[in-house]
Structure 1
Amino acid sequence: MLLPLLFLPFSFATILIPPPTGKYGVSLTNIQLVDKTRPDPWGFDTIANRRIVVSRFDPVAPRSCRTKQRIPYMTSVVAEEEDRILGPYEWPVGVLGQLELELCVPKNKVVKDAPVVLFSPGGNTTRFYYSALASEIASRGYSVITIDHPFETDIVEFDDGTIAYGGHYSARKNLTFAETAVSVRAADMSFVLDTLGLKDRKKDKAAAFGHSFGGAATAAAMRLDPRIRGGVNLDGLLYGEVVQAGFGEKKNSKQSFVLWGAQGHNSTEDPDWNSFWSALGEQNVWKRELSLLGGAHGAFWDLNLIADVANVRGQFGQYTEEDLISKLPGKRVYQIVGDYLDDYLKFVFEGGSEGLLKGPNKKYPEVDFL
Structure 2
Amino acid sequence: MSSSFTHTAAGPDRRTVAASALLAGGLLLTGGTGAARARGRAQGPARPAAGRTLRLPAPTGPHRLGVTTLYLVDRSRRDPWDAGIPVRELMVTVFYPARGVRGLPVAPQMTEGAAAAFADIDVRVHHLPASGVDWAATPTHAHPGAPAQPVRRPVLLYSPGGGDPRTLGTGLAEELASHGHVVVTVDHPGDAGEVEFPGTTPYRTDPVRTTVLRDDPRQHPALFRTLIDTRIADLRFVRDQLAVLAAGGSPDAAGRALPEHLGRALDLRRVGLYGHSAGGTAVAEALYEDRRFAAAANLEGYLDHPAERPGSGRAGELYPVARYGTDRPLLLLGSERFIGARGREELARSWSAMLARPGGRTRRRQIDGAAHWVFTDYAALAPALQAAGLMTAADRDALTGPVGPARAVPEVRHHLRAFFTRQLPPRC
Distance 1:106 1:66 in 2: 12
Q: How do 1:1-370 residues align onto structure 2 when only pairs under 5 Å count? A: 8-9=46-47, 11=49, 14-46=53-85, 48-60=86-98, 64-85=100-121, 86-87=123-124, 89-95=127-133, 96-104=135-143, 108-161=147-200, 162-168=207-213, 169-197=215-243, 204-240=269-305, 243-246=318-321, 253-265=326-338, 269-279=344-354, 281-282=356-357, 284-309=359-384, 312=387, 315-350=390-425
Cα 1:282/1:82, change in 2 over 3 Å: same
Is 229-238 or 327-336 further displaced after alignment?
327-336
Cα 1:138/1:45, change in 2 over 3 Å: farther
Distance 1:159 1:286 in 2: 41
Is 19-28 or 86-95 further displaced after alignment?
86-95
The offset of 1:284, in angstroms, is 2.8
Q: How many residues get paired?
A: 343
The offset of 1:289, in angstroms, is 0.7
The offset of 1:233, in angstroms, is 1.4
What is residue 368 of structure 1 aligned with on the other side?
none
Query: Would you say the 8 A contact 2:114–2:194 is kept in 1?
Result: yes
User: As a proportion of its length, which structure holds more strand?
Assistant: 1
Query: Would you say the 8 A contact 1:26–1:139 is kept in 2?
Result: yes
1:209 partner amino acid: Y
Cα 1:157/1:104, change in 2 over 3 Å: closer
Cα 1:206/1:242, change in 2 over 3 Å: farther
Bigger relative CO (Cα 8 Å, ≥ 6 apart): 2
Q: TM-score, normalised by structure 2?
A: 0.71
Is 136-145 or 2-11 further displaced after alignment?
2-11
Query: Would you say the 8 A contact 1:246–1:280 is kept in 2?
Result: no
Is 232-241 or 186-195 further displaced after alignment?
232-241
Query: Would you say the 8 A contact 1:230–1:255 is kept in 2?
Result: yes
Cα 1:160/1:244, change in 2 over 3 Å: closer
Distance 1:275 1:87 in 2: 30
1:8 partner amino acid: A
The offset of 1:50, in angstroms, is 0.9
Cα 1:285/1:31, change in 2 over 3 Å: same
The unaligned stretches of length 5 or more in structure 2 are: 1-13, 15-33, 201-206, 247-267, 306-315
The unaligned stretches of length 5 or more in structure 1 are: 352-370
The root-mean-square deviation of aligned C-alpha atoms, in Å, is 3.1
Cα 1:68/1:102, change in 2 over 3 Å: farther
- SS at structure 2 position matched to 1:182: helix
- SS at structure 1 position matched to 2:140: strand
Query: Would you say the 8 A contact 1:218–1:232 is kept in 2?
Result: yes
Distance 1:313 1:287 in 2: 40
Distance 2:322 2:243 in 1: 23
Query: Would you say the 8 A contact 1:307–1:313 is kept in 2?
Result: no
Query: Would you say the 8 A contact 1:207–1:230 is kept in 2?
Result: yes
Distance 2:270 2:355 in 1: 19
Give identity over the alignment, percent: 25
Cα 1:206/1:45, change in 2 over 3 Å: farther
